Amino acid sequence: MGPPKQDHFYMSAYGGDDEAEEHLVLSAHTDSTQHSYLNSPIVEDDSVSVHQSQPRRPAHQLSLRRTEQERRDAARASGLYGEPLQEYEYDDSYYDQGSFTSLSKPYGRRERADDDEYGIMEKLDDSHRDREYVSQPSRGPSMYQRMRLMNDGDDENDTALKRASTLLKRQLSKRRSGAPDGALRRSLLANGGSPESYGEGNIPMQELTSDHNLNSMPSDAGLMDPGTPDTTVPFGADGSGSFRTVHIGNRESNARYKYKHNKVSTAKYNFLTFLPKFLFEQFSKYANVFFLFTGCIQQIDGVTPTSRWTTIVPLGVVLAATAVKELAEDLKRHKSDKEMNKSNARVLTGTTFEERSWRDLVVGDIVRVENREAIPADLVLLSSSEPEGMCYIETSNLDGETNLKVKQALPETAEMLKPADLASLHGHLKTEMPNDSLYTFEGTMVSEGGKLGFKEMPLGPTQVLLRGAILRNTDWIYAVVIFTGHETKLMRNATAAPIKRTSVEKTTNRQIIFLFIILLTLAVLSAVGSQVLTSRNRDELAYLMLPDGEGAKAFVKNILTFIILYNNLIPISLIVTMEVVKFQQAQLINADMDMYDESSDTPALARTSSLVEELGQVEYIFSDKTGTLTCNIMEFRQCSIGGIMYSDIVEAGKRARMVNGAVVGQYDFTQLREHMRDSERKAQLHEFFQLLATCHTVIPEQQADAPNGIEYQASSPDEGALVKGATLIDYVFHTRRPRSITVSIMGVDQEFEVLNINEFNSTRKRMSAVLRCPDGSIKLYCKGADTVILERIDEARGAPVATTLRHLEEYATEGLRTLCIAMRDISADEYRTWSAMHTKASTTLTNRQQELDRVAELIERDMVLLGATAIEDKLQDGVPQTIYTLAQAGIKIWVLTGDRQETAINIGYSCKLIQEDFSLIICNESTHWETKEFLQKKLDAIREGRGSNIDLESLALIIDGRSLDFALEKDVEMLFLELATLCRAVICCRVSPLQKALVVKLVKRRRKAILLAIGDGANDVSMIQAAHVGVGISGQEGLQAARSADFAIAQFRYLRKLLLVHGAWSYHRLSKMILFSFYKNIALYITQFWFAIFNMFSGQTIYESWSITFYTVFFTVMPPFAIGVFDQFLNARSLDRYPEMYKMGQTGVFFNVRSFWGWAINAFYHSLILFFLGTAMLYDDSERDGLVDGQWVYGVIIYTAVLTTVLLKAALITNMWTKWTVLAIPGSLVLWFIFLPVYSLVAPKFRTSTEYEGILGHTYTNPRFWLSVVLLPVLCLMRDYGYKFLKRMYFTKPYHIVQEIQKFNIPDYRPRMERFKKAVHKARLLQRLRRTRGFAFSQTEGGQEKVIRAYDTTMQKPSGF
């Protein structure tokens, strides 16, 4: 429950601070009898009058009688809000197109059915309340939360109020313009007077004089008052004004504003930013910072015990290799951007159109776009090939909706059909500043002479075409460019390509810090030891000539020396090894033929290799619906007519047959045509398909390449599918005129007069048409949801309702979208009476839509049920199986779609995202407080019921975009997130691209989980980039999502193998490779510390310096590559068959802090054995000739033992041996035994290394050398082998069992369980359908009758030239 409502009327400019807000007194010189709302008490607080200027008081000081809920309940009870209640629908038509500014809509207030004066004032009152109490701690109103104060159909009082509200908003807009306080007050005092004469909170608005008479004010007035000079800041691109000016077709005038170009880049780097961004990214890895530091101190004379280049050179090689990889990946993005920017557009130059690339478009250009072409920038529509300047666009690339949207040019410009007409257009546009709202637009077209004369015309969303939309079923359009490039609304919804770092990298980074602390500790201890031993034995060390008085300096130098000595405790090769391994894993993804789509010739593509291991740890998937789960294709599949089922394809076991005198099964469409010719059901079949061919708002277009030579323009894909379905039975709709349509029925043209259309809306869930048939009879044809059609059926007519319901349930179990079909004969007298009522309702100025719905109810009754239709919203292949398998893998899937709620829920059932036994939590709240209360209530119920009757695995949350906007507010987001994460599935409907990204960012910020976002349209780009891993689908909505994603696949089903197989492999391989890399370096370099104990911490190294470098670069580099690229702990078939194995990646079984330090401690243990046992074995180092082996022989023996141990450890952890594994592990040991004699002979001659001179005879011929190489590794690895045995035998993990099943090919019992589950699935589905049968009808609400009345397809369309 929100704060109590403030029961007085005051209004302040949105966005102003509290101190600067003043009360505005609304006074008007109007007829008190005509405008009674200005003289009547508006509020219930007796102490406050709308006519009195009152000082502002805090809300808690107001005298209140009722809380918000009490007032709302009272209003409902008294009928104040009208019946039924109608909620705001946030579409384009609800915005004030007559002025530039709009007041913010109160947070989800319900609007009563009639807009009388009380309702308008109450909304204005509430708008301030909501700003004060709601928007303060939150983001403020969203793109959907606009308040409309104007409707086309208002009575005289409403019209006057409308104009008063317009003036009010004008005055408020001046306050918003950013003027200083003094100027602000002066701008409000149009009649003169000093600001000092008014108290704080008592600043009156401009008096409405004769110059500003309400009745004389044009409804489409702009920002400034008529006849008043424009004293506000000039519009422009410099940001000084709230709007900007676009000169039509005048590049020179627009050039001074320096608008952005139309070139778009989705790349990560450019020429200037590559070096700083790359270096920042690389040195955010602590290992690189450490090695850079080490390389620098190695250059200090007298500090390094090794060569000064042993660190800086490998680091340079690592950075160079990484830079080449990053450049190669980013060049792919640049190439994709270049292809898009080079797309052709037609620009008006003089009186002709010239071809230019998209990147060369500038603001103000007049362009021509033709059918099926993409919109190159944000445009204002001027004219088109269609009547009255209308055009159709597909916005699935923007908002995910597949139904076509109708846009319409201004009537004044709609007649400009030739280039010469456009060239004569002189004037400019005043538009809003670039923003990310896809559904709003405010502007004005100002004509400065020419054909249109001097006038101003309002612009709204109806005239705007956004970049990313596709022109459909319209030959051509002319439009003027208003926003370009990254200022377009599509790109404003996108975000810059982020720098993504994986959780494995972050964990590694943290452990490197701890290792560095250990290294620093060892260096300090060694330096302290050096100081102590040197000071104690200074007399015995006189031959060293140690300087006096440099204790502190020597101590610091010793620390640096030991840092260099131990620096390879952190493997310098790790970073480059990780990059190369990831690159190879990405190549394996690219080369996987199981993820190659043959139909589109599209392979899987890893656009970046940096995130491959994240694919194995995903816990949440955020998916688009349209084009990702579905194919954007609607097909008429089945129908039920008179209790008989017909289908396009009939399985052998379902063919129709007679059983006990009744038809059981299905006929195919071929048999249907036979029944149409000679059957007792002929009349009913004819009526059914005649309804499909006539009851719609589809526009036919002659297209040579289309079936039957006709392409249908349909605002609803369902309607288009039904009309196409009728053509299969030779009922071909081919001509539409403003008052009639022509249908070819069995080859014979018949004309039907369209008398009336009762349009579809979400409340009615049906549409109907009243037609005069060729025989003169009048019929009502109706189609809609079964729940609304069946209750209007005349059961006395003997319709097979029960049979049809059974068929509907069967269709729904197959995931088909169903509609019921009904008709009624109407007498001429009844129609005459009803038509008069309809005409009156259609011309009323108040509650027009409600009146039309009420009149439609009067005629949509006592209908005859003809049957039902079943349309397939075709899912992509394998979607249900993929979602079900991913759910088994412990992945939660959220669907974020711009589509309608009913459609999204039906698809959720079809694709197995929602199971039949799920309980749906549906949130469709209208206000901030109602949303918060709803979420809190549901969350409390779940908490109370946990452990008893509530199964968290059977909950699904459904929330619409309006409620989601409130749910993302700071004080509600945690409630929403907690409830959503408790549910098995979440569907967010009617959401914008920005909301998609906000949802992903919320989960990313509040949950320690890996998120994956997948989509195929430009509206999914921001969501894809916000997630840890982005996957784009190369689908019908274009390639922008695929270009901006980290991975691209052709179909959703490939996500299954991408995650469960490649993801699991990559995570396991990389985890093992990283752990092994640290292990091998710790095992070698800790022996340096043990040796320092014996040499008085002098800083002397036990190993030759280049051997240390080659250890990392040559001798132990291949095993990590072999493990990282080719190792498989399970094969692909087992990982797909047992998706539960994927959970090990989610829980971090293979790579975590515990495992990291387990490997580190094991390396310390091995170094102890190798050094101290090796030293003991070599203690007596004299040989038969009386000579001693010396330090370097001793170092080579320990070095060889360490290398052998490390390589045997690699062999022990390898699960799958390939030829590359053999080459890497035994091959590395062989390489060392070949390298040692060659290097010991060659290096001394070139004076590269003199330490190994003459060493060969003291190693390979020494028995203790071979004894150490064999015995020490065995002693080290006995513990490792024993631990592995115990873990597999007594502490078995699930993957150990699957490994046994895989090795011995043990049969699985699960196929029988699957059949049982399918039977249970069908039973539960039928139970759900009997409770609530679904329906989907994705049609644009309202305005369709106006569209069809404008079309005459018999007339030739203009060519535009």
Please list the active-site residues: 624
Length of the chain: 1361
Distances (CA, A) of 806 to 644, 667, 785: 11, 16, 15
> Residue 636: enclosing H or E segment and its boundaries?
strand 630-641
Distances (CA, A) of 385 to 549, 703, 830, 841, 929: 95, 15, 40, 32, 48
Decide: helix, strand or coil at residue 474: coil
CA angle 729, 731, 733 (to 5 degrees): 140
Q: Helix 1191-1213 vs helix 1118-1126: angle between axes, to the nearest 10 degrees?
A: 10
HSE on the CB side for 383, CA within 13 Å?
19
DSSP 503: H
Which distant-in-sequence residues (6+ apart) come within 8 Å of 1206 by Cβ?
Answer: 1079, 1080, 1083, 1084, 1116, 1119
**Quick count: other Cβ atoms within 10 Å of Cβ 64?**
16
Cα torsion 1341, 1346, 1348, 1350 to 10°: value is: -150
Calculate the CA 1030 to chain-centre distance: 9
Which distant-in-sequence residues (6+ apart) come within 8 Å of 865 by Cβ?
Answer: 789, 790, 793, 799, 800, 801, 804, 820, 821, 822
DSSP 1276: H
No. of helices (H) and no. of strands (E), the chain: 43, 38
Beta bridge partners of 893: 621, 985
The answer for 883, left when phi > 0, alpha when psi is -120 to 50, beta otherwise, is: alpha
CB 883 within 8 A of CB 912: yes
Cα dihedral 661, 663, 669, 673 sign = positive
The answer for 660, left when phi > 0, alpha when psi is -120 to 50, beta otherwise, is: left
Cα dihedral 573, 576, 581, 584 sign = negative
**Strand 955-960 versus strand 710-713 pairing type:** unpaired
Q: What span, in angstroms and rounded, lies between the C-alpha atoms of 162 and 146?
A: 16
Radius of gyration of the chain (CA): 38
Distances (CA, A) of 235 to 240, 245, 247, 977: 7, 6, 12, 42
Decide: helix, strand or coil at residue 230: coil
**Strand 24-25 versus strand 203-204 pairing type:** parallel
CB 766 within 8 A of CB 789: yes
Residue among 480, 311, 501 nearest 409 (CA): 480
CB 1220 within 8 A of CB 1122: yes
- Helices (H), ranges, 200-261: 251-255
> Residue 446: enclosing H or E segment and its boundaries?
strand 443-448
HSE on the CB side for 313, CA within 13 Å?
8
Phi, psi values for residue 447, rounded to 5° = -90, 135
CB 817 within 8 A of CB 908: no
DSSP 1335: -
